[in-house]
């Protein structure tokens, strides 16, 4: 499975030797560390389709959580009160 570190800090699974740099997508097993960080909101799951270029993705078909993960991966700041279209616009603009 692919995971993204949604925080601004590096996240390291010492038991399994896996480094999760901020905003980077890493392939990993669903270890106890990964499961805990998913629950804490530090890590997020990423689908293969989200890794394609935004031109190839129909952003309107993604859910708000998927859009937020994509924005986090691309280090795009999203406000908690941003609406779906605002998030899409920010992703397209790359800001």
* pLDDT tens, residue by residue, 30-43: 999 999 999 999 99
Residue span of the structural domain in which 42 resides: 1-46
Q: Could you give the C-alpha distances from 65 to 12, 17, 19, 93, in angstroms and in order? A: 24, 28, 23, 19
Q: Are residue 58 and residue 25 in the same domain, yes or no?
A: no
Domain identity same for 21 and 4? yes
Q: How many domains does the chain have?
A: 2
pTM confidence score: 0.53
Mean pLDDT within 2-15: 87
Q: Cβ(3)–Cβ(18) under 8 Å?
A: no
Per residue in 43-60, pLDDT tens? 988 876 656 554 556 788
């Amino acid at each position: 499975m692919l995971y993204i570190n949604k925080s601004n800090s590096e996240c390291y699974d010492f038991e399994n030797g896996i480094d999760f740099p901020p905003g980077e997508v890493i392939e990993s097993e669903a270890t106890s560390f990964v499961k805990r960080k998913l629950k804490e909101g530090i890590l997020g799951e990423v689908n293969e389709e989200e890794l394609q270029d935004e031109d190839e993705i129909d952003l309107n078909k993604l859910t708000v959580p998927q859009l937020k993960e994509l924005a986090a991966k691309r280090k795009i700041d999203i406000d908690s009160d941003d609406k779906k279209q605002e998030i899409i616009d920010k992703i397209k603009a790359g800001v």
